[in-house]
Structure 1
Amino acid sequence: MVEPASASGPPTDAPRAVVVTASDRAAAGEYTDRSGPVLVAGLRELGLRVDDPVVVPDGAPVEQALRDAVASGAALVVTTGGTGLGPRDRTPEATLAVLDRLVPGIAEALRADAVRRGVAAGVLSRGVAGVAGRTLVVNVAGSVGAARDALEVLGPVLPHAVAQVAGGDHPG
């Protein structure tokens, strides 16, 4: 179960999350990753253990970063970036190559929340969510605003989702 973080941070036995930033420019050092650190800070506030974001170019490196995170035993992986319509936006395809099962309601909720907030382009996000082994994987659009908004949407469901993926039962 994910418990809110204390002033000293998440407990050492808290579930571990990995944030993967998909950005050709950030990976090349031409651009500073801003959405990854927002997700890291927010996930820590939600009680997860999280290291600094893994920053990779979009495409095959995203798939490898996801596979590495799943193999490491992460309970949750959140990607940021690469979910749009551009020719290099390949994060959903990389994610689908890793997933065992889809959890479409998460991606639908993120898109619906964007539209509710007046971000019409939110419907253009091709982000997906699902389970790979015992890891929940969620794609988030690559802006600071999308990262902040995603944390609000995910926060209430993460404890239950992470527990379920780990083999826990429904709450009584």
Structure 2
Amino acid sequence: MEFPIVTGADVTTLIDTAVAEVLAVAGGWLGWDGRPVAFDGNAWTPHKALRRVTDHLIDHLAEIECRLAGLSPLPDAWHGRTVTTHADFARFTESDLDEATSRLTRLAACYRARLRGLGPEALDGRPAPDTWTLREVVHHVAGVTYYARAMSGAWTAAPRAWRPGPPDGPCLGCGSVEPW
């Protein structure tokens, strides 16, 4: 299993920062010509990119809530970035951007509210050797900017914020083996 690299960034603002970047990039999709962008073995559209951001935020927020309540997180059954639906090909309008802005900023506020006041024990405790800490989960989730960059063609060859760690396996919250 790989573990996200954790920086000294305030976990209560990491998701706000990521959402702000996603929405800034998404503003450039207005007037999209309807042709998907091919990147990393997948077809990307504005709606798909925003759907993936939203799904990833929801999935890991549910994981955090379950873990803080002492429950096992539910495994996800999402198809992830490998599926592009018919709805993903819809026009991307100012209303779509406005709706995404409302949705994503509310999700970021939920992360901020939930993480505020959690101390190092809650954020850095590792319930099992093969489980990410909550701090690592939040750093992983902050990588949702990948989806916006994939759609926009703004992907840069920035180094991945990962470090190897035992054992092998997917993200326990989202099943992802991807660095985003």
TM-score (norm 1): 0.27
Work out which structure has the larger RCO, using CA pairs closer than 8 Å and 6 or more positions apart in sequence. Answer: 2
| Larger-Rg structure | 2
